[in-house]
Structure 1
Amino acid sequence: MALNNLNYPLDFKFKISTLASDFNITDKNGNYVAYVRQKMFKLKEDVIVFNDESKSKELFRIQANKWIDFNSSYSLNDILQNKNFGRLARKGMRSIWKASYDILDANDQSKFKIQEDNAWVRFFDGVVGEIPIIGMFTGYFLNPTYSVTGVDGKVYFKLKKMPSFFGRRFQLDRIIDIDDEDESLVILSLLMMVLLERARG
């Protein structure tokens, strides 16, 4: 199973009716791509990617390699083919400035990097977000964007948070076509990153 032949842009839309951090991924025509569920009350991150909201078929599993967040990495696995795509790694402690992650393949070779484009958006979101009432509306005017860059220095994907209450919508666009397996590796990495970044505020 691979996340390929997709009609971009893809929408990541979080459900606000559940306690868990669940979200739908749909394509530009509104067709289901996947349904993502983050297991609650786990010492280590455990995320399941289903075919759709019925949760009738597990497609992928993403699991943290450590209990604590420092230097954590997240294994990206295809359930149906019993195959590991690679992992998403965050080096060192969280930055108050820019989010930065490395995407490594199954051979632990660096393939891509996810980098937040504008550090000031994060900074002002953190400051304004602490202001009573006003902070509730930061999701409408402080929206970060992230670039996925290959080892060749080219930007392959752009992910942006869309204006929405509670920061519940993200949109992913592919800039350059890539190999099918790499595309699955990047999309799985991005959906895990969205969960991590959204949890930190």
Structure 2
Amino acid sequence: MVLKNLNYPLDFKFKITTLSSDFNITDNNGNYVAYVRQKMFKLKEDVIVFSDERRAEEMFRIQANQWIDFNASYAITEPGSGKKFGRMARRGMRSLWKSQYDIYDENDQTKYQINEDNAWIKVIDGIIGEIPVVGMFSGYFLNPSYTVKDSSGKEYFRLKKMPSLFGRRFQLDRLIDIDGEDESLVILSLLMMVLLERSRG
């Protein structure tokens, strides 16, 4: 199974009417690509990717291998068969300063890396975020971006946090063509990364 209707850029938009971290992924024409639902009150991350907000068709499941997310790995599987689609792993100690993640295929081979483009944005955002009133508006002008590269350094995608009061919107652009299954694997990894990074502020 692969994600469809991938007319870029894709918008990741979080819902503010739910307690859970639910968000829609839509294409440039406003068509649904996926609806992402993070299960609440779980010791280990458990995320379900549906085809749309009706939640009638479950497309993928993303689950952490441990309840402490420091250096955790997130397995991406297909529902029903439980077939492994790939996984994403955060780079532990190296991510304390600059967020970095590795993306692995179904054979556990490293295919791509996600790198935060400017670590200073996160540092400054953390400082300003502690200032009363002013910190509420940091989401309008402190917006990190992330680039997806392969092992040779070739850039495939760029994900940007868009100006918003509560960090509700992200936009994904594809820079060059990529295989369909790899494309889905990268998008699924990025949506999991967004949930992890957003939970850290």
Partner residue in 2 for 1:183? 183
Cα shift at 1:153: 1.0
Partner residue in 2 for 1:150? 150
**Deviation string, structure 1 residues 90-125 (Cα, Å, up to 9, x no partner):** 122473421100001111111000000011111100
Q: Secondary structure at the match of 2:34?
A: strand
8 Å CA contact 2:5, 2:32 repeated in 1: no
Partner residue in 1 for 2:51? 51
Q: Secondary structure at the match of 2:158?
A: strand
In the TM superposition, 1:16-165 aligns within 5 A as: 16-79=16-79, 82-93=82-93, 95-165=95-165
8 Å CA contact 1:49, 1:58 repeated in 2: yes
8 Å CA contact 2:9, 2:28 repeated in 1: yes
Amino acid at match of 2:178: I
**Deviation string, structure 1 residues 141-185 (Cα, Å, up to 9, x no partner):** 000000000112100000000001100000000001111111111
1:6 aligns with 2:3: no
Question: Structure 1: where are the runs of 5+ without partners?
Answer: none
Q: Secondary structure at the match of 1:3?
A: coil
Q: Give the Cα separation in 2 of the matches to 1:163 and 1:81.
A: 39
Q: Secondary structure at the match of 1:184?
A: helix
8 Å CA contact 1:4, 1:180 repeated in 2: no
Change (3 A) 1:64 1:71: same
Q: Give the Cα separation in 2 of the matches to 1:83 and 1:188.
A: 15
Q: Secondary structure at the match of 1:120?
A: helix
- After TM superposition, where is structure 1 displaced by more than 6 Å over at least 4 residues in a row? none
Q: Secondary structure at the match of 2:92?
A: coil
Cα shift at 1:81: 5.4
Cα shift at 1:28: 0.2
Q: Secondary structure at the match of 1:181?
A: helix
Question: Structure 2: where are the runs of 5+ without partners?
Answer: none
RMSD over aligned CA atoms reads 1.2
Using the size of structure 2 for normalisation, the TM-score is 0.96
Q: Secondary structure at the match of 1:127?
A: helix
